Amino acid sequence: MTDLSRRRFFTRHTANQEAVALPWLANRQRFSDECTRCGKCVSACETDIIVKGDGGFPRVDFTQGECTFCYQCAAACPEALFVSQENPPWSAKASIDDACLTKRNIECRSCAEACEPQAISFSLQIGKVAQAQLNLDECNGCGACVSICPASSIHVSTTN
* Residue set of the binding site for [4Fe-4S] cluster: 35, 38, 41, 45, 67, 70, 73, 77, 139, 142, 145, 149
Q: For residues 130 and 97, what is the distance between their CA atoms, to the nearest angstrom?
A: 16
3-state DSSP call for residue 58? strand
- The four Cα atoms 135, 67, 61, 38 give a dihedral, to 10 degrees, of 150
Give burial (CB, 10 Å; 0-12/13-18/19+) of 6. Answer: exposed
Annotated binding site: 35, 38, 41, 45, 67, 70, 73, 77, 139, 142, 145, 149
Q: For residues 60 and 98, what is the distance between their CA atoms, to the nearest angstrom?
A: 23
Helix, strand and coil in the chain, % to nearest 5: 25, 20, 60
Closest CA to 109 of 89, 93, 129, 95: 129
